[in-house]
Amino acid sequence: MAGAITSRDVARLAGVSQATVSRVLHGSAGIAPETRSRVLAVVEQTGYQPNAAAISMRTRRTGTVGVVVGRVTNPFYPQVLDALGAELEPHGLRLILWDATTGPGERAAIEAIDQRRIDGLVFTTATASSPALQHAIDRRAPIVLVNRVVEGQPCDQVDSANEDTARRIARYFADHGHKRVGMITASADASTAAARSTGFTDEAADLGLHLDERHVLDGGFSHEGGRAALERMLDAGIEPPTAVFAVNDLSGFGALDAARAAGIAVPDDLWVVGYDDTEMASWEAFQLTTARQPIPEMVRIAVELLLARIAAPTRPPVHHRLPSEIVVRHSTAHAPVRA
Amino acid sequence: MAGAITSRDVARLAGVSQATVSRVLHGSAGIAPETRSRVLAVVEQTGYQPNAAAISMRTRRTGTVGVVVGRVTNPFYPQVLDALGAELEPHGLRLILWDATTGPGERAAIEAIDQRRIDGLVFTTATASSPALQHAIDRRAPIVLVNRVVEGQPCDQVDSANEDTARRIARYFADHGHKRVGMITASADASTAAARSTGFTDEAADLGLHLDERHVLDGGFSHEGGRAALERMLDAGIEPPTAVFAVNDLSGFGALDAARAAGIAVPDDLWVVGYDDTEMASWEAFQLTTARQPIPEMVRIAVELLLARIAAPTRPPVHHRLPSEIVVRHSTAHAPVRA
DNA sequence: AGGAGAGATGAATACGTATCCATACACCCA
DNA sequence: TGGGTGTATGGATACGTATTCATCTCTCCT
């Protein structure tokens, strides 16, 4: 490692004061052009890099944002990370990543706010509110919830129309003649799972679809869970459903794989619908009909809200709810969704 | 946000000096038990959190490690991130994430070292060395390369036996009677792609396998690229290969999907082998034979090396090369690999 | 010609912590 | 009883930057 060069070193080499170096680097007005270029030459030649700790000590800004994700191996989250990175980069912001499922990730992220290690935090996990999160929100910490809602909280939130879209999926099944349907859900602690389950269940009831309780199983948002859930449905000793709604794509892929292993033809004998429209949903191997979450848009808004919140901590919180579009693919025979 | 409480505030409230607060929080010896508990009580009651910038200003440590990944939507990287997070957490270390494919990720990560924003950097991208990286290595910056090698560099490196394993895959094809083989490769800038391509190509030549140049195509490590590559092979106007080696799983999945779309039966008419053994390779939809990279082990060693390097910057660099095991699945008819 | 005002720069300071050095006190042994 | 030894604590300082305030030098106008 190069010995750390400070702005004072640069100042000495350029024959100016440290204050002048700082001003040059910030493009402040009132610097003689000749001085300016002399300083920049030294900066260039020495490869000077400002010390991040000192800057953040002085400015109380870190230029870093935290993000809490669920299991990062769930392909939904990499897409969020991808969008988030792209959204933050133009602002010169960095990203610290915490996994909510391993160890004290969520708590560590919240502590990082108080330690002034990050300027703000994006929560993307669809998990219930912990006391720590609740407390942080009460303290008006700069937090944005994406894809998770905590009703009535003084906190910026962005999600999509989970309940409404799930209702549309139930209607879609009914419109195309299905009578017995199933659902692969996930922990009700997750607001997304809860909203999607509720929407689907309620609309199914309204429409007179038969949703046997043995056809409502927890898939834990995972491939393995989705697969096991469909296997259990087929094995329940009653007539299996002809259409299944999985509350996320990953468990939907698991269901498709269970059907494939059991020799059940999709979509002839079984329709499967997922949620998220991850990239893989369009792969030939799955061709999964699913609800498209507008991830880039959600993330864009989330970043916008977070930066605004950091700039104006007392601004009233807002809640954005974006529409979700159903993308029809082969897992439901390309049958159209009613307008 | 709570008004920032400092160690001085805690000291005042506990009736001691700031130095004593610092000592208590570090568990230093020579503190009266009564003083100690009084300080801790105030810390508890006020919810004091030490200021990260001040600590890192004083100690020249950040407790944060950087990681540069390729496109994070390539499922290989989330598995690396997962392992990395799990490995760092017990050390109390955080993770800043940079995507090498979007914007100036790689350069930003390297600059972060000089800015003392991170204590060290893990490179997981299989991309060629940039001048910036080269320069950082020359300066002996605390960097570990995982899954990427730069021969002869004074830099800690961890990879797996890419070339050797690729040779074994060629032999595997030959052993089971294949004559015409194909390869879906990727940019030779990536040391992994280069090593795997070389190993497969050389061994195929040694064994007299026919590897037509029209059956060697770049799949760009992506699903779409792998799919397009296989489509072009089938469309080349010559007899297609009976076995294809894809230098990573993702492009292997693409190949499988191309075969599925074209009505080519795997493994009856075509064998496909990937590389990485990502979780999805074992899914029913793919059942892809592939080379297992020991990700957790590689990451474990990488973190160990990085921490050692940070503690002892001048220690001679080491290069770990781990064995890769071929996992046989349905995409090669479960045919055994020769011992 | 003299002073006002603008432009350019430097000196000083605070951010919050860890640690070095100094100090005060109690206790023990010769 | 006095000096020495050890224990517990406080004062002072430096880390590197951004920014406020002060200073100095011109230029220009009356």
| pLDDT exceeds 90 at position B132 | no
Q: B165 near B245, Cβ under 8 Å? A: no
Going by pLDDT thresholds of 50, 70 and 90, the confidence category of residue A228 is very high
Residue A247 gets which letter from DSSP?
S
Nearest CA in chain A to B111: A49
Going by pLDDT thresholds of 50, 70 and 90, the confidence category of residue A283 is very high
Position A126 scores a pLDDT of: 61
H or E segment at A160? strand A156-160
The CA–C1' separation of B132 and D7, in angstroms, is 53
**How is residue A156 written in tokens?**
């910026």
Position A116 scores a pLDDT of: 96
Half-sphere exposure of B163 (CA within 13 A, CB side): 10
| Pick from B104, B148, B144: nearest CA to B125 | B148
**How is residue B222 written in tokens?**
């992506």
Degrees (nearest 5) of the Cα angle B204, B206, B212?
A: 40
**How confident is the model over A29-41, as pLDDT tens digits?**
889 999 999 999 9
Contact at CB, B78 and A79, closer than 8 angstroms: no
Asked whether this chain's domains B62-160+294-323 and B162-293+326-332 adopt the same fold, the reply is: yes
| Pick from A141, A138, A93: nearest CA to A116 | A141
What mean pLDDT comes out for the span B15-19? 95
Give the integer Cα–Cα distance in Å for B235 and B227. 12
Going by pLDDT thresholds of 50, 70 and 90, the confidence category of residue A337 is confident
**How is residue A218 written in tokens?**
């927890």
**How confident is the model over B59-82, as pLDDT tens digits?**
999 999 999 998 888 899 999 999
Going by pLDDT thresholds of 50, 70 and 90, the confidence category of residue A80 is very high
**How is residue A129 written in tokens?**
């509110």
Give the integer Cα–Cα distance in Å for A192 and A205. 20
Sort out which chain B residues have CB atoms less than 8 A from A98's CB and list them: 85, 94-95
**How confident is the model over B200-238, as pLDDT tens digits?**
999 999 999 999 999 999 999 999 999 999 999 999 889
DSSP B31-98: --HHHHHHHHHHHHHHT----HHHHHHHHS--SEEEEEES-TTSTHHHHHHHHHHHHHGGGT-EEEEE
The CA–C1' separation of B21 and D9, in angstroms, is 11
The reply to whether B148 touches chain A by the CB within 8 Å rule is no
Q: Closest CB to B82: pick one of A72, A108, A285.
A: A72
Position B150 scores a pLDDT of: 80
Give the integer Cα–Cα distance in Å for B138 and B155. 9
What mean pLDDT comes out for the span A53-64? 96
Half-sphere exposure of B260 (CA within 13 A, CB side): 16
Give the integer Cα–Cα distance in Å for B93 and A108. 10
A56 touches strand D (CB under 7 A): no
Nucleotide nearest to B57 (CA to C1'): D15
Sort out which chain B residues have CB atoms less than 8 A from A276's CB and list them: none
Sort out which chain B residues have CB atoms less than 8 A from A284's CB and list them: 227, 257-258, 260-261
Q: A100 near A70, Cβ under 8 Å? A: yes
H or E segment at B298? helix B295-311
DSSP B142-210: SEEEES---TT-SSEEEEE-HHHHHHHHHHHHHHTT--BEEEEE--TTSHHHHHHHHHHHHHHHHHT-B
Backbone angle region of B116, left / alpha / beta, with phi > 0 → left and psi within -120 to 50 → alpha: left
Q: B271 near B173, Cβ under 8 Å? A: yes
What mean pLDDT comes out for the span B180-193? 93
Going by pLDDT thresholds of 50, 70 and 90, the confidence category of residue A74 is confident
Token pair 């490692």 is at which residue? A1
The reply to whether A251 touches chain B by the CB within 8 Å rule is no
A27 touches strand C (CB under 7 A): no
Going by pLDDT thresholds of 50, 70 and 90, the confidence category of residue B2 is very low
Q: Closest CB to A1: pick one of B57, B141, B261.
A: B141
Q: Which CATH class is domain A162-293+326-332?
A: alpha beta
- What are the backbone dihedrals phi and psi of residue A224, each rounded to the nearest 5 degrees, phi first? -60, -40
Position A127 scores a pLDDT of: 67
b/e for A319-335, b at 16 or more Cβ within 10 A? bbeeebbbbbbebbeee
Q: What is the pTM of this model?
A: 0.92
| pLDDT exceeds 50 at position A262 | yes
What CATH number belongs to B7-57? 1.10.260.40
Going by pLDDT thresholds of 50, 70 and 90, the confidence category of residue B251 is very high
Give the integer Cα–Cα distance in Å for A153 and A18. 46
Contact at CB, B108 and A94, closer than 8 angstroms: yes
Separation in Å, CA of A198 to nearest CA in chain B: 29
Q: Closest CB to B53: pick one of A56, A98, A258.
A: A56
Q: Which CATH class is domain A62-160+294-323?
A: alpha beta
A63 touches strand D (CB under 7 A): no
Position B163 scores a pLDDT of: 96
Task: Sketch the domain layout of chain B as residue ranges.
Answer: 7-57, 62-160+294-323, 162-293+326-332
